[in-house]
Amino acid sequence: LLQANEEKRNLALREVGNHLHESVPVSNDEDENKVERMYSNCEKQAKYSHVDLIVMIDGMNGDKGAVVSGGRGYFLTGPAVFLEQALIQHALHMLYAKNYTPLYTPFFMRKEVMQEVAQLSQFDEELYKVVGKGSERAEEGSSDEKYLIATSEQPIAAYHRDEWLSESALPIKYAGLSTCFRQEVGSHGRDTRGIFRVHQFEKVEQFVLTSPHDNKSWEMMGEMIGNAEDFCQSLGIPYRIVNIVSGALNHAAAKKLDLEAWFPGSGAFRELVSCSNCLDYQARRLLVRYGQTKKMNASVDYVHMLNATMCATTRVICAILENHQTETGVTVPEPLKKYMPEIYREEIPFVKPAPIELEAASANSKKVSKNNKKDRAA
């Protein structure tokens, strides 16, 4: 009975959120997110949105993707494949130059480990469950329950599970690369066209473990959002940095900054990056402790953990398409040129008409046909 009550108490405690930093705006209304700074021209307008542009460069096939994998399914095609790989290379090289260790992570996590890095709502709204026949060590006939990762933050957070990390070893900085899988249950009906919000995408993620003392994690948060800003600036993407209100934070985050890119064809800011300082919230669950070993009669310290997007490829592709569109195609940002085939090194040409114009022409044709029928009837 005592053990059952202890487990019940621990489950309840997992749904208690982190301490918030004093700079976090206290509100449940996301309209009250605080804009911290802006970069470049966030008012310019452009002709086409990414929904049209990805089709115009023949960069995706959504119809066949939906047939094969269902709603929000897609095939990246031709130049978009090279553009995605170029973005991954550019992001990894930028982080490697700043002493981030690249990690290519597992896509599956055991249920008991995922429970230590994800909150309950994510299991319902975000995570895909995968059930297999069981591992080689399992009893015959048993099932092996795992979850697909929504971000490489999840497996990397568990990388040092149940370890003691010495002061001299910190900070430990990782550049995680993985495919990410998200159900997007809460976004029904939003961004159903194009590749901005999809169930599967590639992402380069920053993940850092720091000392819990001397504001080290807050200094690191500044470095990590700075890396994301450098990345977007190198690609010529205008953006703003937004301090997210308390009511929109997940349990783990003590503070979250989003980088929202300006999409001139859509006339809107869209999130490309989230950067969170989780303090010791995740480390306590995972037992990632600070110091060599526990000293006599001393309380245990836990490392601080931070995460930040560097590049969610499909979203960055959308931002590049809208911000670098010309009359004839899409200009390739300078840092990506060396990774592109020669035919696409300067510009990715338009090879198909804009869907929005085809739809308008079709609607106009139907209207004319309808009017002609009325005239004949008269």
**pLDDT per position as a tens digit, 20-76:** 999 999 999 999 999 999 999 999 999 999 999 999 999 999 999 999 999 999 999
Handedness of CA 223, 227, 229, 233 (dihedral sign): positive
Distance, C-alpha 328 to centroid of its chain: 30
Q: 200 labelled as ligand-binding? A: yes
Q: Determine contact, residues 11/115, Cβ cutoff 8 Å.
A: no
Q: Determine contact, residues 249/334, Cβ cutoff 8 Å.
A: no
Which structural domains are found in the chain, ordered by start? Answer: 2-364 (3.30.930.10)
**pLDDT per position as a tens digit, 231-276:** 999 999 999 999 999 999 999 999 999 999 999 999 999 999 999 9
Predicted TM-score (pTM) of this structure: 0.92
Say whether 310 sits in a helix, a strand or coil: strand
Question: Band of the pLDDT at 191, cuts 50, 70, 90?
Answer: confident
Q: 183 labelled as ligand-binding? A: yes
Q: Average per-residue pLDDT in the chain? A: 93
Q: 271 labelled as ligand-binding? A: yes
Q: 205 labelled as ligand-binding? A: yes
Q: 151 labelled as ligand-binding? A: yes
Task: State the DSSP code for 269.
Answer: E
Q: 260 labelled as ligand-binding? A: no
Residue 140 pLDDT exceeds 70: no
Q: 240 labelled as ligand-binding? A: no
Q: Note the helical H segments in the chain.
A: 2-14, 50-56, 62-69, 79-96, 111-117, 120-125, 153-157, 216-234, 281-286, 313-323, 355-377
Q: 201 labelled as ligand-binding? A: yes
Q: 49 labelled as ligand-binding? A: no
Which residue has tokens 């997110």?
A: 33
